[in-house]
Amino acid sequence: MYYIKNMKDLKAYKISLELYQIIVSEIKIYDTNFYKVKNEVINIINNIALANGKEFYLKETIKHYKFAIYKSYTLETLLQNYENKKKYISKLIEIRNILFTLIKREEKTMSSKSNKYKTEEVDYTNYTSKNLKSLKAYQLGVEYVQACIKIIDSLPNYEKYIMKDQLRRSSQSVLSNISEAHGYGDIYYKKAISSYNIALGSLKESIAQIDICYISNYISKDVYDHVNNLASQIIALVVTYIRNMCK
């Protein structure tokens, strides 16, 4: 059975979402520092998500984990004046320790002779198509972007410059990179694989934004489940495309 690990099962990802939820629920002074804190937590969440989406390029995975660690130190500085700083910082330390362990693991994998990626076995026989619009991943990508746009339109105005912009950019990147990968086709397969990999990273980043929207009570459980179902199908398809190109 082939498999690709689920971002939502990563402990560092879970804890970073918990930290976001705790901070936005407990800090009630909405000054400049609060929005900097909020933005840095989102940066940590996004980079853990991006690292998970770069599983076919371990150097990129490690880069995003390291950037998340760097952002955790920035966040720790911003948290110094808050009453519950010890609780927040203990979460950050836990996240950092996990990321350091993940980096060591990925570096060991890179140095080993056998560097095989296992993905979930899915029977998607139409992984190639001359017509972009008949490509299943593209069709689902269109649905995904449409669903994300509906979420963006429903978000409060104060999320305009963080949540709205990031979700719009990352979701649209999924579709554009699937399209670009399809354009490269079998002739420029390395570029196609690279574009598919970027699509995976963007998809994981947008899922992180959806998770934040859900724990912030901006979207319903039905909307959340629908978008995650679309994302899961796209991931399975794109991973299948990559593996078929690597054969």
pLDDT for position 36: 94
- Is 120 inside any structural domain? no
- Is 123 inside any structural domain? no
Q: Are residues 166 and 216 in the same domain?
A: yes
- Is 51 inside any structural domain? yes
101-112: per-residue pLDDT in tens? 999 998 888 776
Q: Are residues 164 and 87 in the same domain?
A: no
Identify the residue with better confidence: 215 or 126.
215
Q: Of 55, 76, 111, which residue sits at a domain end?
A: 111
Q: Are residues 21 and 75 in the same domain?
A: yes
pLDDT for position 246: 75
Total domains in the chain come to: 2
Mean pLDDT, the chain, integer: 87
- Is 124 inside any structural domain? no
- CA distances (Å), 146 to each of 30, 95, 213, in order? 32, 33, 16
Give the confidence band of 187 by pLDDT, cuts at 50, 70, 90.
low
Give the confidence band of 133 by pLDDT, cuts at 50, 70, 90.
confident
- Measured CA to CA, the distance from residue 171 to residue 141 in angstroms comes to 8
Q: Are residues 170 and 107 in the same domain?
A: no
Of 103-107, 113-117, 166-170, 226-230, the poorest mean pLDDT is in: 113-117
Q: Are residues 57 and 145 in the same domain?
A: no
**CA proximity to 19, closest of 81, 70, 93, 124:** 93
Asked whether residue 1 carries a pLDDT value surpassing 70, the answer given is: no
The predicted model gives 187-200 an average pLDDT of: 86
pLDDT for position 247: 66
Q: Are residues 138 and 225 in the same domain?
A: yes
pLDDT for position 55: 67
The predicted model gives 199-207 an average pLDDT of: 94
Asked whether residue 212 carries a pLDDT value surpassing 60, the answer given is: yes
- Is 1 inside any structural domain? no
Compute how many other C-beta atoms are within 10 angstroms of the C-beta atom of residue 77: 10
pLDDT for position 134: 81
Q: Are residues 151 and 242 in the same domain?
A: yes
- Is 219 inside any structural domain? yes
Find the domain containing 107 and state its range. Answer: 7-111
68-101: per-residue pLDDT in tens? 999 999 999 999 999 999 999 999 999 999 999 9
- Most confident range (mean pLDDT) of 3-12, 43-52, 154-163 is 43-52
Give the confidence band of 65 by pLDDT, cuts at 50, 70, 90.
very high
Q: Of 79, 111, 143, which residue sits at a domain end?
A: 111
Q: Are residues 184 and 105 in the same domain?
A: no
Q: Are residues 52 and 106 in the same domain?
A: yes
Q: Are residues 182 and 106 in the same domain?
A: no
Give the confidence band of 57 by pLDDT, cuts at 50, 70, 90.
confident
- Is 240 inside any structural domain? yes
Q: Are residues 160 and 57 in the same domain?
A: no
* CATH code (residue 155): 1.20.1440.60
Q: Are residues 185 and 142 in the same domain?
A: yes
- Is 160 inside any structural domain? yes
